[in-house]
Structure 1
Amino acid sequence: MSPLSVDALAGCGNSLAAAPSVREPLHAPVAHLVRGGVVEGVHHGSVVVLAADGSVELQLGDIEAAFYPRSALKPVQAVAMLRAGLPLDGDLLSLAAASHSGEERHLAGTRRILELAGLTEDDLRNVPDLPFHPVVRENWIRAGRLPSRLAQNCSGKHAAMLYTARLNGWSLDDYLNPAHPLQQAIAEIVEDLTGQGIARVTVDGCGAPLFAVSLHGLARAVARITTAPAGTPEARVADAMREHAEMASGSGRDVAALMRAVPGLLAKDGYEGVQVAALPDGRAVAVKIADGADRARVPVAAAALARAGVDAGVLGEFGGGPVLGGGAVVGHIRPTRPLDPLPPAPSGGRG
């Protein structure tokens, strides 16, 4: 499917700030791969750190250019579905905002959402895929299982979309059309929480509409989710993801470990090097790694959280992993200044 015109969302958010500019982002160096004291590789990107009052405490690169948040937008999409009447909480709500690993609990949870809607896997319109986590994927292939819509990492979100559509009496076959009432409702909340218009609409990897906002807007949206009053759709999403971090990601995933390590933190990753995280007092960070490299995403986000005031000692395990040479540690991946470099992570490695 070709990129879609933002005109499909005409009428949404007319009173909001203008949509971010569509331009080539002016990214800056945000991480170095250092081998033997020499900078061997440089990751460019953009970083924004928001203070509790919403002001920009630190910015690197281009935080106002339009970009695609990918799966980092899922908490916002989940808020939109709750506002439209989705009656999920706890582990199933966390799964609705998940980029899951394809573990059995994720598959079972997605089936439960579909059953609540009176639907089956055949009603899903996300692309069939193998499980996201490498170990889970290898076991899946070894067992002779084929790609499926249920195993694809966005299946929980799609099941929740179908449930929301059914509850509202909306059509099901075309729930991924950007002109569908469900996607119009999601777009409205994206604009509401980011505080800006949507710059472009295209199709995400799973087949759902994907909305271009700014990195600054994404950080603002997640901060609004974590600071919302108890019982609101925003607070319900934050609570569900924090309390069921592995349902929103998977066993051994860095985003779950980050939420476990920092009390009250809501964190979500996205393809192409996107990471967002926010604390209950409104402090928030958002990261975009220009080349999409996952190895720089977490170290840069951890350094940004340290700049936001999170204890660097707590974040030490998320510092850049060791670079190996002949089986020995010969360097590290380190955030650049003015991000405060964290202590190197104690284990793992890069060849």
Structure 2
Amino acid sequence: MILAEVVRSGFVESVHHGSVVVLDAAGRVAAAAGDVTGPCFPRSSNKPLQTVGMLRAGLRAAEPADLALMSGSHFAEPFHVDRVRRILAAAGLDESALRCPPSLPLSETERDAVVRAGGGAAPVLMNCSGKHAGMLATCVVNGWSREDYRDAKHPLQVALAAAVSELTGEPIAATGIDGCGAPVFAVSLTALARGFQRLVDAPPGSHERLVADTMRADPELVAGTGQDDTRLMRGVPGLLAKGGAEGVVAVAVPGVGAVALKVADGAMRARMPVLVSALRRLGVAAAVLDELATVPVLGGDLRVGEVRAAW
């Protein structure tokens, strides 16, 4: 299904195929395109569901905002890196315990700063280090081994898989290895949207609601300053958002509905225009949606076209 088109100088230059599902406030499919019942890997969009699994397994965050970072894909701004280290320190660990791969910051500004200072790639700078710090803290609480915490058969990962399956209401179709080395669980887009809806509609005090509330309270910890997830949660009251690699994003608005989508070719630039189109079908309106409805195509320094929703 064609979800978005790239228009340059008035001509359709290319298109992006994919799938998208829109659930109404009751969890019913209100609109859909493409394959929304077959499994896909949501990549980092799984993270909030995995954080619920950590809480169910006994994790207790030293500060509520820690849960936002554990559920996010941070850009390694100083406040991100500092909080990862604090999460580890509260568990009696340091960054040497992390098993995510060394990386430079996703933020170009921070990447340049690290290089200028003579630094290099490090696990703590990797965008998933918050999740990994949470996984390690959960292992410490339970007395589980830490060296192999990424193994899909580890008690931690078994517990997280059970949480993802229960929250999405669907058996996990496949378990893969994510870019950070930890397991990633395949579910359908409909199930993913259902899981996010569970988080925002959960009663206060529940693990699900705690994760949703902390992410929405500190959206800069979920992504970074000026990033899409951050802007969406700052700009739409109550909205929960988490993107994933290879063109995935899932959002939910309490009492309104939820959306999950995947761009088939993995293009990240098509996600926001399609998401805006989906949210407008639910009657959601906000200035930030107008800002994200198209992505500029540049020719030199001039805007010569745009990526826009075709669905």
What TM-score do the two structures reach when normalised by structure 1? 0.86
- For 1:298 and 1:141, locate their aligned partners in 2 and report how far apart those are by CA, in whole Å: 31
Q: Does structure 1 residue 212 correspond to structure 2 residue 186? A: yes
Q: Are 1:94 and 1:241, in contact at CA under 8 Å, matched by a contact in 2?
A: yes
Partner in structure 2 of residue 9 of structure 1: none
> Alignment RMSD, CA only?
1.2
The residue type equivalent to 1:157 in the other structure is K
**Which amino acid in the other structure matches residue 164 of structure 1?**
T
Task: Specify the SS of the correspondent of 2:238.
Answer: coil
Task: Give me the whole-angstrom Cα distance separating, in 1, the residues matched to 2:196 and 2:297.
Answer: 33
Partner of 2:176: 202
- Contact map agreement 2:236 2:286 (CA 8 A) in 1: no
Match status 1:126 vs 2:106? no
Mapped contact 1:224–1:282 kept (Cα < 8 A): no
Q: Indicate the residue corresponding to 1:156 in structure 2.
A: 130
- Where does the alignment leave 5 or more consecutive residues of structure 2 unmatched? none
Deviation at 1:202, TM superposition (A): 1.2
Residue equivalent to 1:143: 117
With over 3 angstroms needed to count, the CA separation of the structure-2 counterparts of 1:326 and 1:130, relative to structure 1, is closer
Q: How does 1:216-231 map to 2 (within 5 A)?
A: 216-231=190-205
The secondary structure found in structure 2 opposite 1:333 is: strand
Structure 2 distance, partners of 1:326, 1:245, is 33
Aligned residue identity for 2:272: V
Contact 2:247 2:262 in 1 (8 A): yes
CA contact (8 A) 2:27 2:194 kept: yes
The alpha-carbon deviation at position 267 of structure 1 amounts to 0.2
Q: Secondary structure at the match of 1:246?
A: helix
Residue equivalent to 2:2: 29
Q: Is the 8 A contact 1:226 1:282 kept in 2?
A: no
Find the counterpart in structure 1 of residue 270 from structure 2: 296
For residue 138 of structure 1, report the CA deviation from its aligned partner.
2.0
Q: Deviations over 1:182-213 (max 9, x none)?
A: 10000001110111111111110001011111
Change in Cα spacing, 1:313 to 1:250, as seen in structure 2 (3 Å) is: closer
Shift in Å, 1:282: 5.2
After TM superposition, the runs of 4+ consecutive aligned structure 1 residues lying more than 6 A away are none
Instruction: Pick from 43, 48, 58 the counterpart of residue 16 of structure 2.
Output: 43
The secondary structure found in structure 2 opposite 1:288 is strand
- CA shift, 1:158, in A, is 0.5
What's 2:295 paired with?
321
**Number of the residue aligned with 1:281:** 255
**For residues 231-250 of structure 1, what are the structure 2 equivalents within 5 Å?**
231-250=205-224
- 1:21 maps to none
Pick the structure with more helix per residue: 2
* 1:272-328 deviation per Cα after TM superposition (whole angstroms, max 9, x unaligned): 010000011150001101111111111111111111210165510111122233543
Give the C-alpha shift of residue 254 in structure 1. 1.2
The letter of the residue matching 1:209 is: P
| Structure 1: distance between partners of 2:47 and 2:165 | 14
Residue 65 of structure 1 corresponds to which residue in structure 2?
38
Take 2:218 and 2:288, find their aligned partners in 1: how far apart are those partners?
20
Query: After the TM superposition, which residues 79-94 of structure 1 pair with which residues of structure 2 at under 5 Å, given as runs?
Result: 79-88=52-61, 89-94=63-68
Quote how far apart the aligned CAs of 1:331 are.
Answer: 2.2
Match for 2:282 among 305, 308, 317? 308
The alignment of Structure 1 onto Structure 2 pairs a total of residues equal to 310
- Among 18, 42, 51, the residue aligned to 1:78: 51
- Read off the aligned partner of 2:127 and give its amino acid letter: N
Mapped to 1, the partners of 2:116 and 2:166 lie a distance apart of 45
Residues 129 and 327 (structure 1), Cα distance of their counterparts in 2 relative to 1, 3 Å cut: closer
Contact 2:37 2:189 in 1 (8 A): yes
Residues 323 and 331 in structure 1, CA contact (< 8 A), matched pair in contact too: yes
Give the CA deviation at 1:132.
Answer: 1.3
For 1:344, the equivalent position in structure 2 comes to none
Matched residues in 2 for 1:326 and 1:96: separation?
Answer: 39
Q: Cα deviation per residue 1:128-153 (whole Å; 9 max; x = unaligned)?
A: 11111222112212222111110000
Aligned counterparts of 1:336 and 1:96: Cα–Cα separation in 2: 34
In the alignment, the residues of structure 2 paired with residue 326 and residue 110 of structure 1 have an alpha-carbon distance, to the nearest angstrom, of 39
* Secondary structure of the structure 1 residue equivalent to 2:220: coil
Q: Is the 8 A contact 1:306 1:312 kept in 2?
A: no
CA contact (8 A) 1:70 1:210 kept: yes
TM-score normalised by L of structure 2 = 0.97
- SS of aligned partner of 1:321: strand
Is the 1:54–1:282 contact (alpha carbons within 8 Å) kept by the matching residues of 2? no
1:95 aligns with 2:69: yes
Work out the CA distance in 1 between the residues paired with 2:96 and 2:256: 40
Provide Cα deviations, 1:56-97, integer angstroms capped at 9, x if missing partner: 001011111111000000000000001111112522110111
2:244 aligned partner: 270
Instruction: Work out whether residues 83 and 233 of structure 1, in 8 Å CA contact, stay in contact via their aligned partners in 2.
Output: yes
Asked if 1 retains the 8 angstrom alpha-carbon contact of 2:200 and 2:252, the reply is: yes
